[in-house]
Amino acid sequence: MPTRLTRREFAVPAAAAAAMALSPALFAQTPAPPITRAIPSSGERLPAVGLGTAAVFDTDDAATRQKASAVIKALVADSGSLIDTASSYGDAERVIGEVTAAAGLRARLFIASKLEAPDESELQRSLARLQTGKLDLLQLHNVDDPQQSLARFRDWKAQGVCRYIGVTSTSHGDFPAIEAVLTREKPDFVQIDYSLDDREAERRVLPVAAQMKAAVLTALPFGRGRLFRAVRGKALPDWASGFSRSWGQFFIKYLLGDPRVTAVIPGTDSAAHMVDNLGAMRGALPDAEQRRRMVQFVEAL
């Protein structure tokens, strides 16, 4: 699920430093508690912003490991825990495994990974690369068959290999298959792409997920970088200042304004962007009228 972000042009660290210089008392205040959402099948609460790893940690080299270490430490330091990866994301599983083992962070993380098929050897490779004996969430990736069975995944869950199972797709052409599998197999989670400028999942998958009591992870919340490109050079509107401090938070908070969304998982290899993303799970969320205004704003760009 490559994001191809152009967000680096926004200079988040400089903006934050300038804001702090202007109002240090504001930043000295105790931060609001993080927003968490319940996983419907268990009631366990999950921090509402996590980390996606596609196309950011796919190379196992010193530079990537250094970035991953900084990002994951920032995630944990600011009350986050969810990391989403996949067996098909290059070396991302290996990088995450190395970094979390070296820092002793596994117990503080909710690690989700994906398999391309219900294959034992692929599962064992993922566990070995992640340096863990158990996944928090195991997902079947890119489901495109409405008759897809999750029996093998349920077996693994019963064996204690994973705590939850799920299905994923970021292709709108696969949404009918996702809806059918959700309805018949009733997995704990579903992961789809969903952004302020691409709301097909809002109309199609989220109602079914709510009916089947499946937790929802939303990938590609910045529309593969389209949203940042659309607002380049533009100031955050005054009417959004009550719930967002940055464009990244603006885009994420639109999604969190939908109570059917359990967690948003933007990908990044920047610790500064990770901190900014996590800021979206604190403070006020836009209400229904504000969300309508956000849609109108983006559609007018």
**Whole-number pLDDT of residue 4:** 47
Please indicate, yes or no, if residue 213 is contained in any of the structural domains.
yes
**What is the percent of the chain where pLDDT is above 90?**
89
Please indicate, yes or no, if residue 220 is contained in any of the structural domains.
yes
Question: What are the beta bridge partners of residue 217?
Answer: 191, 263
Q: What is the DSSP string of 236-269?
A: PPGGGTTT-SSHHHHHHHHHHTSTT--EE--B-S
Residue 31's pLDDT band (cuts 50, 70, 90): confident
* Region 48-61 average pLDDT: 97
**Whole-number pLDDT of residue 87:** 97
Please indicate, yes or no, if residue 61 is contained in any of the structural domains.
yes
Please indicate, yes or no, if residue 23 is contained in any of the structural domains.
no
**Whole-number pLDDT of residue 18:** 37
Residue 8's pLDDT band (cuts 50, 70, 90): low
**Whole-number pLDDT of residue 15:** 43
Tally of structural domains, the chain: 1
Residue 14 has pLDDT above 50, yes or no: no
CA distance 220 to 198: 10
Structural domain span for residue 213: 46-232+261-270
Please indicate, yes or no, if residue 295 is contained in any of the structural domains.
no
Tokens 């069975």: give the residue.
Answer: 149
CATH of the domain at 58: 3.20.20.100
* Region 278-289 average pLDDT: 98
Query: Hey, is 278 helix, strand or coil?
Result: helix
pTM: 0.91
* Region 259-277 average pLDDT: 98
Condensed to tens digits (0 to 9), the pLDDT of residues 124-158 reads 999 999 999 999 999 999 999 999 999 999 999 99
Q: Is 160 exposed, middle or buried (0-12, 13-18, 19+ CB in 10 A)?
A: exposed
Q: What is the DSSP string of 208-240?
A: HHHHHT-EEEEE-TTGGGHHHHHTTTPPPPGGG
Residue 103's pLDDT band (cuts 50, 70, 90): very high
Please indicate, yes or no, if residue 40 is contained in any of the structural domains.
no
Please indicate, yes or no, if residue 9 is contained in any of the structural domains.
no
Please indicate, yes or no, if residue 64 is contained in any of the structural domains.
yes
**Whole-number pLDDT of residue 28:** 42
CA angle 192, 212, 258 (to 5 degrees): 55
Condensed to tens digits (0 to 9), the pLDDT of residues 206-248 reads 999 999 999 999 999 999 999 999 999 999 999 999 999 999 9
* Region 102-117 average pLDDT: 98
Pick from 152, 121, 158: nearest CA to 139:
152
Sign of CA dihedral 114, 117, 120, 125: negative
Q: Is 187 exposed, middle or buried (0-12, 13-18, 19+ CB in 10 A)?
A: buried
